[in-house]
Structure 1
Amino acid sequence: MPAISDLVVRSGLDLILVAGERGSGASIRWVHTSELPDPAPWLSGGELLLTTGMGLYGGPEVQGEYLRRLISARVAGLGFGLGFGFDTVPEALVAPANRCDFPIIGVPYKTPFIAISEWVSARLAEDSLEEAQATVSVHERLAGLVAAGSGPADVLEEVAALTGGWAILFDLRGGVIARAQGPHTVVPDDRKVFATLPQALLEVQGPAASSELSPQGAQVGTAVMAGTRQEGVLVFGQNRRLGPQDRIVVRHATTVLGLLLSSRRAVIDAQRRVTGDIISEGFSGRLARGELERRLELVGFPPGAEVTALVLEPKDATGDDALDGYAAGVDDWLGLHCAGGVRTAVFGERITALVQHETPHILAETLQAEFGTARQGEVRVGVGESVAPRSMRRSYLGALFALRATPDERLVAGPRDLGSYGFLMSTQSRPALESFVRSVLGPLVTRDLERASDLVSSVGAYIEAGGRWEAGAAALGVHRHTLRYRVRQAEELLGRDLTVAENRLELWLALKAQEILNE
């Protein structure tokens, strides 16, 4: 946009800058003419206001108040027509205008106001044309990178070349995807730059951009979107105020990066689905050891390296889409914090991960702290023992049952929390557990299959409630008399008195063993 000083020097209209020279660099957004004593309510800021002073005959007090209203309305400047009611611009306007650096132009009698409007309008049209040409040029250069198969780093290099500034592309966790800088430009520390971004910019429902201006320069952050999914944040900075060219380049770069990251995400999601199937099969025990080790090696887990299973139970992520999105975030985060292999999968209603890490429990605590925020919702994390890849199912079961063995308030649980589950898993083989369950619970399992009598679950609820009928019935959602009747049936089938502590203990261990077998 043209500045007040451009209008005075270049228009050839014999205009005179009579006040506010230091503010003459103000840009003119539009030209407006008014003879009202108070035109401020009809102004939106950035205008050059033209007047002959018809509303300023009241003397210095009226004129001073008039100027204060214009300054409050953020007007770019005042053009005062001479030779109508005033031969010179009143001193009551000039003096305070100089103090406030508010530019006032003296307009000679021979210069019509429409000539000023036409000159400014022509300059604005030229600026719009130049911006359109610059937009096309930037678009062609950046689109050419996409057509050539370039990546985010190449786009940021082009941004730096076009503007001379610096640019950093972050993922939503603060990891740097790419960065670039122009010559003689110092890039701030990545962590400090990310820390200055408002939290709302990292959320889909938040603002699309943020800006910051300081003595060191200016920076702007923009959300990089792929459809409705946010893939990252582009932060661009200069050691000066941002100009139109900077904003054009950033706007187009954001669009191009969205396309590139969308393609990148599609590839990552496809890889995650394939590797997720392998991880799920390994956790479920459906693959023979040799085949399991071969497949794990293909996705980044060498046979000799120990692996650890993590199980996440997010409270608020329900449904396939929510779980998949949550798993993608977990996978990205783990990828930044693990030097070894990382693979995640949605397994039932849980998110599971197989990782290589020297201190998996510390990793799990950090992961829980990162994702267990108000923005992500509550999440519990179970940590299995570190095992050879062929024993990954044992690590998974350890992580899963560590969560079951601890109260909901315990946000991270590990092998030390397994209790009886740990005893059964470490000392008994699967055939031995199956034989134990059949010998203790066999009659109840058979009756449940034949008559859907829910005896196994009823006995479990009764034992978990410590033999209290009310609490056990509440857990099942039945009346206490119904629970009492079922327990009496179970005692008859088993030939055991469940008021005896030893009998309840044996049944309780059998129920825990059955849980392990059912996974």
Structure 2
Amino acid sequence: MADTAVAPPSLRALLGRPDLHLRPVVDEDALPAGILDRPVRWVHSSDLVDPTPFLSEGLVLLTTGTQFTEEADYTAYVGRLLARGVRALGFGTEVVRDGIPSGLTAACLSGGMPLFEVPYRTPFIAVARAGAEAIAAESYARRSWSLAAQRAVSLAALRPDGLSATLAELSRQLGCWVGLFDAAGALRTEYPDGGLARPAAEAVTAEVTAMLRRGTRAASPLRSDGVSVNLQTLGRGGHLRGALAIASDDLDHEARSVVTAVVAMAALALEQQEGLGRAIGTFRAGLVQSLTTDDPALARRAGRDVFGPLPAAPVVVALTPAASARSTALAEWLEVRAQERRGEMFFGRGDDGIVLVVPAGARGPLGEIAERFELVIGCSAPTGYDGFSTALTQARTARDRLSTPGIADFTDTARAGLLAALGSEAARTVAAGALEPLRAYDVAQGSALLDTLDAWLAHDCSHEATAQALGIHRHTVRARVAQAERVLGRDLSSFGARAEVWAALRLAR
């Protein structure tokens, strides 16, 4: 926490009160490091042999020792207090006993339990009141700090770059690293810059990405590389706008109230920015439509001041699936990367997906997008802007041929041949329907017209070559082909009829 946050009352502060005259019995050097500075939640007194059922963690216990007999097991007594989380033991002397039993001192020393003497002139109620006053003062100070901190972040939100200023103020108030992630899970802003070590930063990014992909509002603690980070998504369920990360081991109620205020302000700021993002997205979509006219002059002039120059030709035109055009995370991620790569990448919403334009020799961002968002991205062959519309059609054709996430290159699609491009479910259904009469005849008659016709076409309609391939007489081949013509109701003497049946056989496979 920052210096403005008052530390909780501690045993060191209580022992330092001159009006109480408390005297440490176990030397600090013999105790675990930092034990005197741990927060004290309350001061209580009890002379029970086992008071632990009535105690809570983090308190200081006072006793006069009436419970201790000559055979008292001091080690067991101190062990029970330590197990319950008691911070320290105060012994009131000259009330029942003269001084502190040596066995109790030895047990506290052995167990690392702070032990102090409460002299006769200091009533237990005075010690308890001092503890209560310190706790009340600390609580008031924390509430005052919380109000002041909320006022500071509210004023920061009024600055021109309100969101960044708010996060910077939150980091200053909490005295820790604060990071804002966008809807794609990328770190957008952090204070202080580089304040989180790389292993922890990578772990936080991975967890934020997983939270955002789930799409539900959530808060999650994370510990990595010795750093505790609190994560909080921003936005409403199903429409998350990002996440806020705070590297702090422990946020008390007052600190959490400040964080809650910042979360609300950040979510509101991001929602407001979404309206601007929609306007920019519409502008980008208009530029894409302009490019489809194969004349880039208007898009170059209109977009230069806002987005920078278009990528230099030759370019590759790429297209994502239609559903991705509605992805806020993808749009925000692309907006950031396009600003970082001004002149090297352009994108905009098309009729059935997001259109991306990159130089033909720099397609790396496309693979990154496909992997990060698990998308199929179709890519055109290299082209100039005068062939943009054709390239967009190529990208669409390549995209629709691939079913698993990755890059679908039109060059590979073209190399596979024309029939591969026609191999849609609709084309295969039509092909199967055209051949169904032959298939039904073979089943009913126990013949092999389909196989014979396939072999005949594959051997350039040579009866001799087909007969040798099938191991039958050439007259049998001739008769089967003639029968196939009758079943199909087609004359297979023309090239067109033969080509159509051959294509149907290829597609039906």
SS of 1:24 mapped into structure 2: helix
The answer to whether 1:309 aligns with 2:317 is: yes
TM-aligned CA distance change 1:84 to 1:231, over 3 Å: farther
Contact 2:437–2:488 at 8 Å: present in 1 too?
A: no
1:28 Cα offset (Å):
0.5
Query: Which has the larger Rg?
Result: 2
1:461 Cα offset (Å):
1.2
1:135 Cα offset (Å):
1.7
SS of 2:189 mapped into structure 1: strand
The answer to whether 1:385 aligns with 2:381 is: yes
Match among 253, 268, 276 for residue 267 of structure 1: 276
Q: Counterpart amino acid of 1:461?
A: T
Q: Deviations over 1:426-461 (max 9, x none)?
A: 9xxxxxxxxxx9xxxxxxxxxxxxxxxxxx987641
Q: Deviations over 1:108-143 (max 9, x none)?
A: 344333332222222122112211221222222221
Point out the more displaced range, 38-47 or 166-175. 166-175
Point out the more displaced range, 491-500 or 299-308. 491-500
SS of 1:310 mapped into structure 2: strand
Q: Deviations over 1:460-501 (max 9, x none)?
A: 4143799579999xxxxxxxxxxxxxxx9x977999999966
Contact 1:415–1:422 at 8 Å: present in 2 too?
A: no
Q: Give the distance between the partners of 1:391 and 1:344, measured in 2 at CA.
A: 18
Point out the more displaced range, 149-158 or 123-132. 149-158
SS of 1:270 mapped into structure 2: helix
The answer to whether 1:120 aligns with 2:122 is: no
TM-aligned CA distance change 1:110 to 1:286, over 3 Å: same
1:503 counterpart residue number:
500
Q: Counterpart amino acid of 2:150?
A: H
The answer to whether 1:142 aligns with 2:149 is: no
TM-aligned CA distance change 1:421 to 1:352, over 3 Å: farther
Q: Give the distance between the partners of 1:37 and 1:8, measured in 2 at CA.
A: 25
TM-aligned CA distance change 1:505 to 1:10, over 3 Å: farther
The answer to whether 1:25 aligns with 2:37 is: yes
Alignment of 1:201-212 (within 5 A): 201-202=208-209, 203-204=211-212, 205=216, 206-210=218-222
1:485 counterpart residue number:
none
Contact 2:153–2:166 at 8 Å: present in 1 too?
A: yes
Q: Give the distance between the partners of 2:106 and 2:350, measured in 1 at CA.
A: 72
Match among 49, 60, 77 for residue 48 of structure 1: 60
Contact 1:4–1:27 at 8 Å: present in 2 too?
A: yes
Q: Give the distance between the partners of 1:360 and 1:247, measured in 2 at CA.
A: 46
What RMSD in Å do the two structures reach over aligned CA positions?
4.9
SS of 2:86 mapped into structure 1: coil
Contact 2:154–2:166 at 8 Å: present in 1 too?
A: no
Point out the more displaced range, 205-214 or 120-129. 205-214
Unaligned runs of 5+ in 1: 373-378, 427-436, 438-455, 473-487, 511-519
1:81 Cα offset (Å):
3.4
Q: Deviations over 1:272-328 (max 9, x none)?
A: 24423553x468x589876666656576374673443333349xx79x9xx433533
Contact 2:435–2:504 at 8 Å: present in 1 too?
A: no
1:265 Cα offset (Å):
3.4
SS of 2:50 mapped into structure 1: coil
SS of 1:178 mapped into structure 2: strand
Match among 2, 5, 16 for residue 9 of structure 2: 2
SS of 1:31 mapped into structure 2: strand
Point out the more displaced range, 490-499 or 261-270. 490-499
SS of 2:232 mapped into structure 1: strand
TM-aligned CA distance change 1:162 to 1:411, over 3 Å: closer
TM-aligned CA distance change 1:336 to 1:109, over 3 Å: farther
TM-score, normalized by length of structure 1? 0.67
Contact 1:19–1:94 at 8 Å: present in 2 too?
A: yes
1:76 counterpart residue number:
87
Contact 1:31–1:120 at 8 Å: present in 2 too?
A: yes
TM-aligned CA distance change 1:248 to 1:459, over 3 Å: closer
TM-aligned CA distance change 1:139 to 1:227, over 3 Å: farther
SS of 1:48 mapped into structure 2: strand
Q: Give the distance between the partners of 2:25 and 2:434, measured in 1 at CA.
A: 93
SS of 2:60 mapped into structure 1: strand
The answer to whether 1:195 aligns with 2:188 is: no
SS of 1:147 mapped into structure 2: coil
Point out the more displaced range, 127-136 or 39-48. 39-48
1:414 Cα offset (Å):
0.8
1:111 counterpart residue number:
122
TM-aligned CA distance change 1:343 to 1:422, over 3 Å: farther
Q: Give the distance between the partners of 2:96 and 2:219, measured in 1 at CA.
A: 50
1:400 counterpart residue number:
396
TM-score, normalized by length of structure 2? 0.68
TM-aligned CA distance change 1:291 to 1:213, over 3 Å: closer
1:425 Cα offset (Å):
13
Match among 173, 185, 189 for residue 178 of structure 1: 189
TM-aligned CA distance change 1:380 to 1:55, over 3 Å: farther
Match among 65, 82, 92 for residue 103 of structure 2: 92
Q: Give the distance between the partners of 1:389 and 1:290, measured in 2 at CA.
A: 10
SS of 2:320 mapped into structure 1: strand
SS of 2:21 mapped into structure 1: coil
Contact 2:347–2:356 at 8 Å: present in 1 too?
A: yes
1:356 counterpart residue number:
358
Contact 1:385–1:415 at 8 Å: present in 2 too?
A: yes
Unaligned runs of 5+ in 2: 1-7, 441-484
The answer to whether 1:102 aligns with 2:113 is: yes
Q: Counterpart amino acid of 2:368?
A: T
Query: Share of identical aligned residues, percent?
Result: 19
SS of 2:113 mapped into structure 1: coil
Match among 419, 429, 442 for residue 461 of structure 1: 429
Contact 2:146–2:257 at 8 Å: present in 1 too?
A: yes
Alignment of 1:217-232 (within 5 A): 220-223=229-232, 225-228=234-237, 230-232=240-242
Match among 19, 35, 38 for residue 50 of structure 2: 38
1:59 counterpart residue number:
71
Contact 2:290–2:298 at 8 Å: present in 1 too?
A: no
Alignment of 1:234-249 (within 5 A): 234-235=244-245
Q: Give the distance between the partners of 1:273 and 1:421, measured in 2 at CA.
A: 37
SS of 1:419 mapped into structure 2: helix
